[in-house]
Structure 1
């Protein structure tokens, strides 16, 4: 029966192709618009050549439109693309989703959506976001986007030929849940997945599904830029590179009648969960699959946890069993980690508001309007909430009534970090190469630190700073750990010895700091003295790592997490591995330990849960 079903499916695919008409379209990708570069000129040249090329039906634009994800660059790209005489369909790339002062809302405001769907001459085209969203990690297709993908495909059935469009290639090392996408679509007549990201022409296979990556629109080391042109015929897909002022050159072709993959995929593609068998003392007390991407940590008030998600909901769950208690809807995605105190939960939203919500019943208590999305995490002390936004402003707000205590509006970049409250100061980084220290009571600037950083992408903006022994400790994307004088803002020491990135944690006795390296290890340094002093380093075996999930110590255990769904606990004094556990294959946000043996977690894959480990376990 399986063989008959496969033959019937193959014949239906062939018949559907006979109904399709020949057509041609262009594909532009990786334009990387930014100030003081030739990128805008390269895009302009491509648009002019496309406009002068006959018999093109439409244009696909497949991500990394800008270099820094900023509205100004996206506006430039929008204005240029508006000069196309053909209709175009566009999706974001990782440069729009990882670095975005708007929390990726500017992209939808300018271009209409993060997805597209349209039919053309018998073919269905589906384009969607492949992340990552705001947090440095592998690419990730949000659970709600996979649900959308399934819905669109179910509408047209299994006969219609479908072309999928992403930015990232759907393969291991690029998209953490690529197999979820291919499993969701392989029952349908998927002909090819088109994309970019690698800045070169490549032919790939995503568990049998053909994938084609395309050259960047940038000129790079050549004199001119270029793009791709696709011909769809009755039985073939032909791919051409079309450089500026040059003839098209065919470099790839694909049969539209051959069946490249079966409905059942390879079992070899799935992540390996054997680590959970190695540490059977770890159990899930409860686990929720929310079905929505989550990019912030939960807040905890002793009885309940509060989780913000990509659909703009803040949800309260009972910590004992994960039962939902209430839900509050903001106007856009929630990126920053909330904070709760005195029965008020405070959080920011990309809808440009800071909210104060009653923690008991989920009713709105107050809200404060910013002039740009609010992506920062919240810190609360003495009924004052401290939070930064993308309107270059950092605010102190009374959590009882929403009154603004003070505002500091001299921040040059946007803010996503959780501020540090210490020694009468509030300290935070922004995406402008700067760490700021303000007076906690007045908002007056005390000092600023840049450390000689010159690139926006090297900013100490994702790390949550810690302080001890008269020093502030940070790490940054330049792979450095730095100790800064708490009073003066002067650099005391800076080291790239351990190749750490955007993670820092402080011991409960304030004598040690912890950080993740970019490959396998957690390192521990002393907070004491005026030079970097390593204490221990442990190979945890999590592989390549660059996610900004902070190590947290509780009960003499260092809790940590990774971009690939791994959580772990280490002895705070020796670094010995106590346990490891894998939940899914996507980014685990900064963990919230309740005690030595229990820890709350959220993940970009939509998981929310409570993990528990036993210290004495008999197998």
Structure 2
């Protein structure tokens, strides 16, 4: 079963949209890696193998961290809980259906979804399944919990709220989807009152979590161009929400936008195409664009602080942050460490040549990187 509603038919379009390896000339010719003056030392603390990895379709099965346990899964349905100190397996289970989504761990429960649209809640302490609920189609985005709900966005443009305790369906919202879209699905940002959900039509919807009714909608990317591929737009990353009510949203073939989350007012925007989730550190917003340039913006004004293009065309993951460094993986399996203040490359290590397509997970200090073949490494960075 293919992992999205409408995949492009030709190999060329598939390579363009999915970033899959093929004989097609890449849209952004990757730069060769250059030697660097590595001021950051990267040490492998432990390594493990997570089943068969992400599969040929490189499902976005990003691991999840909760306390001293790291949760990881493979595309065939293996789910593991690992001790973060030494990589020892606390428990593992085999689900009946292949896993397709990123993982979310919160308050003693692990949430994930499968290719047949089944959402699964697992007890973090012992690996026992607490409940299963079917939604309308396959799920790629990691389910997002609020205090009482679990918000699930599926590839058909639906957003479903489930009761976190029972899995019972509370409401479903459906967006109008274009015939052709990226091989990705936006991950919603959910708080108790509302859910912010981006879609392949370039819109961001704000949904009332009591009823699922749309409260408002903002256009983040406008479809233009002479053919279907040129007209592709998508809000494919997860919006970043600040405690003071600012929302930062990226879009493919569109803009990076800062909004007032309460009234939808645009605070600033930049013309920048990105299908990645941004990361906000203090008052600096870091965005990886579609060509794998990393840019740091002043979150208040939108002013550009620096842009790093040393990794241009290398199909970078979404960025993560650890101890003063921005961390990204690339399609050759390297993990790169970039000084968050200057944008200078300060370290790198290689996990596996199968490549890295899911964002590294960090606790602010240690980095956990999962390669496409299932190779998982815990990395300590010094100084």
Tell me the distance in 1 between the aligned counterparts of 2:221 and 2:254: 14
1:467 pairs, out of 230, 241, 263, with: 241
Task: Tell me by how many angstroms 1:276 deviates.
Answer: 9.3
Superposed, 1:96-115 pairs within 5 Å as none
1:137 pairs, out of 8, 12, 19, with: 19
Q: Which has the higher contact order (CA 8 A, sep 6+)?
A: 2
Give runs of ≥4 in structure 1 deviating > 4 Å: 92-99, 171-174, 271-280
TM-score by length of 1: 0.52
Higher share in helix: 1
Q: Which residue of 1 aligns with 2:132?
A: 367
Instruction: Identify unmatched segments of 5+ residues in structure 1.
Output: 1-65, 75-91, 100-135, 140-167, 175-270
Q: Which residue of 1 aligns with 2:294?
A: 522
Q: Which secondary structure does the structure 1 equivalent of 2:367 belong to?
A: strand
Contact 2:41–2:381 under 8 Å retained in 1: yes
Task: Tell me by how many angstroms 1:327 deviates.
Answer: 2.7
Contact 2:15–2:26 under 8 Å retained in 1: no
Q: Which residue of 2 aligns with 1:25?
A: none
Task: Tell me by how many angstroms 1:464 deviates.
Answer: 1.5
Contact 1:375–1:390 under 8 Å retained in 2: yes
Query: Could you report, residue by residue, the CA deviation over 1:294-342 in whole angstroms, capped at 9, with x for unpaired residues?
Result: 2321111112211122213222222222233333333443232111122
1:444 corresponds to 2:213: yes
1:506 corresponds to 2:279: yes
Classify 1:319/1:95 alpha carbon distance in 2 versus 1 (closer, same or farther; 3 Å).
farther
Query: Could you report, residue by residue, the CA deviation over 1:339-375 in whole angstroms, capped at 9, with x for unpaired residues?
Result: 1122211111112210011112111110111232222
Task: Tell me by how many angstroms 1:471 deviates.
Answer: 3.5
1:293 corresponds to 2:53: yes
Tell me the distance in 1 between the aligned counterparts of 2:5 and 2:209: 31
Q: Which residue of 2 aligns with 1:384?
A: 149
Tell me the distance in 2 between the aligned counterparts of 1:391 and 1:504: 20
Tell me the distance in 2 between the aligned counterparts of 1:341 and 1:459: 32
Instruction: Identify unmatched segments of 5+ residues in structure 2.
Output: 55-59
Q: Which residue of 1 aligns with 2:257?
A: 482
Task: Tell me by how many angstroms 1:579 deviates.
Answer: 2.2
Contact 1:425–1:440 under 8 Å retained in 2: yes
Q: Which residue of 2 aligns with 1:537?
A: 307
Q: Which secondary structure does the structure 2 equivalent of 1:296 belong to?
A: coil
1:342 corresponds to 2:101: no
User: 316-325 or 413-422: which moved more?
Assistant: 413-422
Q: Which residue of 2 aligns with 1:606?
A: 374
Tell me the distance in 2 between the aligned counterparts of 1:282 and 1:319: 17
Q: Which secondary structure does the structure 2 equivalent of 1:581 belong to?
A: strand
Query: Could you report, residue by residue, the CA deviation over 1:577-604 in whole angstroms, capped at 9, with x for unpaired residues?
Result: 34222222313411211233x1112122
Tell me the distance in 1 between the aligned counterparts of 2:220 and 2:11: 30
Classify 1:333/1:446 alpha carbon distance in 2 versus 1 (closer, same or farther; 3 Å).
same
1:410 corresponds to 2:174: yes
Contact 2:37–2:346 under 8 Å retained in 1: no
Tell me the distance in 1 between the aligned counterparts of 2:339 and 2:145: 29
Contact 1:344–1:399 under 8 Å retained in 2: no
Tell me the distance in 2 between the aligned counterparts of 1:514 and 1:342: 28
Q: Which residue of 2 aligns with 1:595?
A: 364
Larger Rg: 1
TM-score by length of 2: 0.81
Q: Which residue of 2 aligns with 1:61?
A: none
Classify 1:438/1:592 alpha carbon distance in 2 versus 1 (closer, same or farther; 3 Å).
same
Tell me the distance in 2 between the aligned counterparts of 1:579 and 1:441: 46
Tell me the distance in 1 between the aligned counterparts of 2:165 and 2:324: 34
Tell me the distance in 2 between the aligned counterparts of 1:333 and 1:339: 17
Task: Tell me by how many angstroms 1:459 deviates.
Answer: 3.2
2:342 pairs, out of 574, 588, 593, with: 574
Classify 1:492/1:601 alpha carbon distance in 2 versus 1 (closer, same or farther; 3 Å).
same
For these two proteins, the number of residue pairs brought into alignment is: 361
Q: CA RMSD in A?
A: 3.4
Q: Which residue of 2 aligns with 1:70?
A: 6
Task: Tell me by how many angstroms 1:546 deviates.
Answer: 4.2
